[in-house]
Amino acid sequence: MKTVHVWVTGSVQDVGFRYFTNRNAKELGIKGWIRNTEDGKVEAVFQGDENNIQRMIELCRHGPSSSHVKDIKIVESDENKIYDDFSIRY
């Protein structure tokens, strides 16, 4: 199992990005969370099978049709926490 911390920049708030990611993460069996940051980014933690995480990252590179992704920063995490599900944090 792999865990990555992700920050997405661009027009990614108020466009359904978190809901898009939540739906796709659940379909791919990805655990973790996603939230908006105060500086206009979207931050997420993805945990699961490496292939599914790569697929999730590719989906985030495109986002929902109303978004415009400028960049994605991905950092492998050494976090020991095991997530039970995927959630949107507020």
pLDDT given at position 78: 87
pTM score: 0.95
23 is catalytic: no
CB 69 within 8 A of CB 3: no
36 is catalytic: yes
pLDDT of the chain along its 90 residues, tens only?
Answer: 999 999 999 999 999 999 999 999 999 999 999 999 999 999 999 999 999 999 999 999 999 999 999 999 999 998 889 999 999 999
pLDDT given at position 38: 97
pLDDT given at position 79: 83
CB atoms inside a 10 Å sphere around CB 84: 6
Supply the CATH classification number for the domain 2-88.
3.30.70.100
Name residues whose C-beta falls within 8 Å of residue 60's C-beta, 6 or more positions apart in sequence.
Answer: 6, 8, 21, 44, 69, 72
Q: Which of 23, 24, 35, 36 is catalytic?
A: 36
